[in-house]
């Protein structure tokens, strides 16, 4: 498994606890990787984690060049569109990241693509971006599941900006 923008290692550690034999955790932040390492130790799965300090975009591009692939990839970037004015620029970044990630998923594998940018979540732009990225990558995808915030994260109708989490789990053929 590949856990990109891993921060504290939550996705990767959960996968290791559920049976993943190896998880590559990539983040550009040394403190984040130290936190992921500590969390791996606390959860008894540190030996399954490979902690990699790198810009995720560069890491994915290099992985595409080298033909590296994973069965499962989590793409959970930080907020790329803090304001609606940033949406078009952010869509380009999301597309670039998703295209590279899709090229790195083994056929039959899964990609979980996430956004925490309210501009992306509220406009439902993430799935069209993933579709465009898949077309450019020459990959066929099937949406397995759509996610939003959990029930402990309610959104008030008077504050639609509170709807900022969205994710799609796609099977890659």
**CATH code for the domain in which residue 41 is found:** 3.40.50.150
Distance (Å) of CA 59 to CA 18, 56, 102, 104, 106: 25, 5, 13, 11, 17
Report the domain count for the chain.
1
98: domain range?
2-172
Over residues 25-44, the pLDDT tens digits come to 999 999 999 999 999 999 99
Report yes or no on whether pTM surpasses 0.85: yes
Position 62 confidence tier, pLDDT thresholds 50, 70, 90: very high
Torsions phi, psi for 111 (to 5 deg): -125, 130
For residue 53, pLDDT over 90 is answered with yes
- Do the beta carbons of residue 6 and residue 56 sit within 8 Å? no
Over residues 3-20, the pLDDT tens digits come to 999 999 999 999 999 999
């Amino acid at each position: 498994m590949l856990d990109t923008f891993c921060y504290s290692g939550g996705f990767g550690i959960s996968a290791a606890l559920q049976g993943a034999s190896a998880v590559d955790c990539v983040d550009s932040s040394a403190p984040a990787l130290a936190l992921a390492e500590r969390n791996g130790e606390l959860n008894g799965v540190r030996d399954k984690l490979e902690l990699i300090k790198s810009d995720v975009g560069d890491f994915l591009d290099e992985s595409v060049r080298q033909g590296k692939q994973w069965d499962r990839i989590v793409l959970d970037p930080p907020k790329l569109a803090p304001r609606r004015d940033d949406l078009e620029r952010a869509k380009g970044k999301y597309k670039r990241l998703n295209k590279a990630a899709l090229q790195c998923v083994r056929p039959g594998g899964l990609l979980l693509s996430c956004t925490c940018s309210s501009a992306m979540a509220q406009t439902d732009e993430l799935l069209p971006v993933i579709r465009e990225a898949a077309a450019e990558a020459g990959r066929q995808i099937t949406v397995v599941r759509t996610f939003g915030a959990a029930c402990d994260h309610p959104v008030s109708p008077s504050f639609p900006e509170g709807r900022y989490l969205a994710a799609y789990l796609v099977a890659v053929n």
